[in-house]
Chain A
Amino acid sequence: MNFFYFASPSTFYRLAGILAPWCFAVAAILGAAGLYVGLVQAPTDAQQGEVYRVIFIHVPAAWMSMFLYFVMACYGAMSLTFNTRLAAMMARALAPTGAMFTFVALWTGAFWGRPTWGAYWVWDARLTSELVLLFLYFGFIALGNAFEDPRRGDRAAALLALIGVVNLPIIYFSVLWWNTLHQGSSVSFKGTSMHVSMLTGMLLMAFAFWSYSIGTALARVRTIILERERRTRWVRAL
Chain B
Amino acid sequence: MQKRLLVKGNEAVAMGAIEAGCRYYFGYPITPQSDIPEYISREFPNVGGVFIQAESEIASINMLLGASACGARAMTSSSSPGISLKQEGISYMAGSELPGLIVNICRSGPGLGGIDASQADYFQAVKGGGHGGYHIIVLAPDSVQEMYDLTMLAFDLSDRYRVPAMLLGDSVIGQMKEALTPHPYISPGDLPAKDWAVSGKDGRPQRVVKSLFLGDGELEEHNWKLHRKYQELKDKEVRYEASDLDDAQLVVTAFGSTARIAKTAIRMAREEGLKVGLLRPISLFPFPEKAFLETTSKVKRVLCVELNTGQMVEDVRLSVARDADVFFYGRPPGAGSLPTPEELLAQIRKHYKD
Partners in one complex: no
